[in-house]
C-alpha cells in the first residue's frame, strides 16, 4: 500500500502527533518520531503511520460484521431458551449449544470485532467473560451459518426462542 499525504494532511497529522506526545508521556518518543516523519515528508517511512492498522485483507466487511452480530445474538438467545425450556439435548445438540467463539487462525479479525462490538464484554457478558471473545483453532463458520439459517426462520416470542425452534437450530449442523 502506498500512502500519499498532501501538505495540509501532513500539517494536521504533525499537530495531532504533537498533541499525542504531550498527552501520552510514556509514548512521547514514538509520537515525536511519527511527527518528524510527516513534518519532513519522509515518504519511505510512511509505513510507520499505519503499522498498527489492519491490512486491507483483514478489514471486517459489513457482511462479516452482520455475521458476527447475528452469531452473538443467536447464542445469547440459545442460552436464554435453554435456561427457560431445560430441554434434553443430544450430544450434537449440546456441542452446537456451546459458544466457542471464532477461529483464531482464519478469523482473528472477527474475534477483535466481537470484542469491540460487545463493548469489552458489557454486552453479551454471558458469552465473553472478562470481555474476551474465545478464539479456537477450529473452523466454526459452516456450523454457525447452518444454525443461523434456522435461527433466522425462528419466531422469537418476546425475545425467547420457542422450544421447537431451539431444537431445530441446535440440530442444524
Residues 123-149 pLDDT 10s: 898 998 887 888 888 889 999 999 999
Residue ending a domain, choose from 16, 33, 53 = 53
CATH number at residue 115: 1.10.3190.10
Same domain, 118 and 158: yes
The predicted pLDDT at position 2 comes to 76
The per-residue pLDDT for range 61-111, each reduced to its tens digit, is 999 999 999 999 999 999 999 999 999 999 999 999 989 999 888 888 899
CB < 8 Å & 24+ apart, contacts of 148-153: 148/67, 148/70, 148/71, 148/74, 151/70, 151/74, 151/77, 152/70
Q: What is the pLDDT of residues 34-47, one digit of tens each?
A: 999 999 999 999 98
Range of the domain at 154: 62-170
Same domain, yes or no: 162 and 123: yes
> Does residue 1 have a pLDDT over 90?
no
- pLDDT per residue over 111-122, tens digit each? 989 998 988 878
Secondary element (H or E) of residue 151: helix 141-151
Residues 91, 11 share a domain: no
Question: Does residue 69 share a domain with residue 131?
Answer: yes
Residue 80's pLDDT is 92
Cα separation, 13 vs 5, in Å, equals 10
Q: What number is the average pLDDT over the span 57-64?
A: 88
Segment holding 103, helix H or strand E: strand 102-103
Taking CB atoms within 8 Å and a gap of at least 24, the contacts of 82-87 are: 82/166, 84/160, 85/163, 85/166, 87/163, 87/166, 87/167
Amino acid at each position: 500500500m502506498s500512502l500519499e499525504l498532501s501538505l495540509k494532511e501532513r500539517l494536521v497529522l504533525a499537530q495531532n502527533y504533537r498533541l499525542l506526545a504531550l498527552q501520552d508521556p510514556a509514548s512521547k518518543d514514538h509520537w515525536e518520531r511519527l511527527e518528524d516523519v510527516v513534518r519532513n515528508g519522509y515518504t519511505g517511512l510512511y509505513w510507520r503511520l499505519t503499522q498498527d492498522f489492519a491490512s486491507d485483507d483483514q478489514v471486517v466487511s459489513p457482511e462479516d460484521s452482520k455475521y458476527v452480530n447475528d452469531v452473538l445474538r443467536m447464542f445469547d438467545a440459545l442460552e436464554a431458551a435453554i435456561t427457560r425450556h431445560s430441554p434434553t439435548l443430544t450430544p450434537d445438540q449440546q456441542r452446537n449449544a456451546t459458544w466457542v467463539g471464532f477461529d483464531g487462525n482464519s478469523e482473528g479479525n472477527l474475534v477483535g470485532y466481537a470484542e469491540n462490538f460487545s463493548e469489552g464484554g458489557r454486552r453479551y457478558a454471558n458469552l465473553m467473560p472478562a470481555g474476551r471473545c474465545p478464539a479456537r483453532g477450529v473452523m466454526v463458520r459452516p456450523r454457525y451459518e447452518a444454525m443461523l439459517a434456522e435461527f433466522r426462520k425462528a419466531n422469537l416470542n418476546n425475545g425467547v426462542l420457542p422450544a421447537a425452534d431451539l431444537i431445530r437450530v441446535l440440530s442444524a449442523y
